[in-house]
Amino acid sequence: MPEDSIEHINFEDLNNRAISKPLVDHIFTADPSAHVFNGIIYIYPSHDIDAGEAFDDLGSHFAMEDYHVFSMEDIESETKDHGVALHVDDVAWAKQQMWAPDANEKNGTYYLFFPAKDYEGVFRIGVATSESPTGPFKARPKPIENSFSIDPAVFKDDDGEYYMYFGGLWGGQLQRWREGVFNNNKPNSPTAHIPKDNEPALLPFVAKMTDDLFEFSEAPKEIKILDEYGNLILAGDHNRRFFEAAWLHKHQEKYYFSYSTGDTHFICYAIGESPYGPFTYQGKILNPVVGWTSHHSICTIKGKDYLFYHDSSLSKGVTHLRSIKMTEIKYREDGTIETINPYS
Ligand code: FUB
C-alpha cells in the first residue's frame, strides 16, 4: 500500500469495523503459517521490527531478525508466546531479512522452513529442526540447494509426500530468476525484470521434498495458474496474478492453491487436481487489508477451515508494522469460497 494512502485512514473507525482482533499485541507479527500438531494450534509468523529506515517496496523498513512460535489450545483461547525459536545470528548462511516462514512435522521432528538473504544479498530458503513444535530450532549449515526467492509453504499430502511451494515478486526477487540464474542488474529497482503487461505473469514454484525434508528431491517446477479459458493469467492482470504468499490446502479431495496478489492486496485461490497443478483461478478469499502486504495460511481446526492473516490495524499503520489475526472460511456447496471482508 502506498505510504500516503495509509495516512488518511481513520484507525479508530477501522478497528471498530475489523472482523477479528490481533492474536498477539505485545510484539508485531505477520505472515502467519498455522498448523495443528497433537491437537494444539501452532502459529509460525514473521516478526516485524521497525528498522528505523524509510518505507520501500523491498522491505528495508523492517529489521526481521528472528522468529517466535505461538500456540493456542483452541480458537477462543489466549495466544501463548514461546519466545525466540530461531535468530538470524544462529543461521550460518543467512545475513538478514527472515521473512515469511512455515513449519511441518515428520516422524516426531518439527521443521521450520524460512527464507533469508545470504551474504550476497540473494534470498534462499533454509530448514531448521527441533524436537518440539515451539523450538528452539537448529538451522542446517546451508540453505536448500537450488532454493531461491521467498515464502516457503510445505504441504503434506495424504500419501505422506511433502511439497514446498515458494516464490515472491519485487523484494522477493522471483523476477530475477527468469533465466535460471540470479540477475543482479539494477539492484535497487523492485520492478526490474518483471514481464510486460501482455506477457504471462511470473509463476510460483513447487518441489517435492526429500525423505528427510532437508532438500528438494527434484528441480523446482513452475505452477500454472490459468484463467477460465485455460490461458495463463497475464502479468498486467494485477487483481489475479500471483505475487507472493503461496499456500496449499485440500478440500473435498481438490487441491486449493492460494496466494497474495501483492500490490492489489487480494488473497486469491485457484483449484487443481494435483499438487503440481495446473490450478484454475476461482476468486478472492480475502479483500484488501490495511498495511504493506497481505499474507495468509489456511488451517483445519476441528473440522472447520480458518484463514490466518495479518493487517496493520494495531500499529495504526506506523511503519506498516503488522499483527496476525484469524477468521473462519466458508465454502459454498460447489467448493468455492465466500470472499471475506476484513472490515465490516
Ligand atoms: O514479511 C515479509 C514479506 O512481506 C513476506 O515474505 C511477504 O509474503 C510479505 O508479507
Domain-wise residue ranges, the chain: 3-328
User: Which residue minimizes the CA distance to atom 8 of ligand 1?
Assistant: 245
Alpha carbon 70 to its chain's center: 16
The residue among 117, 258, 264, 103 whose CA lies nearest residue 184 is 117
Q: Do β-strands 109-118 and 123-130 pair in parallel, antiparallel, or remain unpaired?
A: antiparallel
Exactly one of 13, 244, 305, 311 is catalytic; name it.
244
245 Cβ below 6 A of ligand 1: yes
Distance from C-alpha of 263 to C-alpha of 138, rounded to nearest angstrom: 34
Does 168 contact ligand 1 (Cβ within 6 A)? Answer: yes
- Catalytic hit among 25, 31, 131, 211: 31
- Listed as ranges, residues in the chain with pLDDT below 50 are none
Q: Which pLDDT score is estimated for 59? A: 77
Q: Quickly name the fold that domain 3-328 has.
A: Tachylectin-2; Chain A (2.115.10)
What pLDDT does residue 259 have?
98
- Give Cβ neighbours of residue 106 (< 8 Å, ≥ 6 apart): 156, 162, 213
Please report the atom of ligand 1 found closest to the CA of residue 294: 10
For residue 89, the SS3 value is helix
pLDDT digits (tens, 9 = 90+) for 30-59: 999 999 999 999 999 999 998 888 777 777
Is the minimum distance from the CB of 235 to ligand 1 under 6 angstroms?
no
Predicted local distance difference test score (pLDDT) of residue 4: 53
- Order the strands of the 221-222 sheet from edge to edge: 153-156, 162-166, 205-208, 221-222
Rounding to the nearest 10 degrees, give the CA dihedral for residues 236, 237, 238, 239. 170
Catalytic, 244? Answer: yes
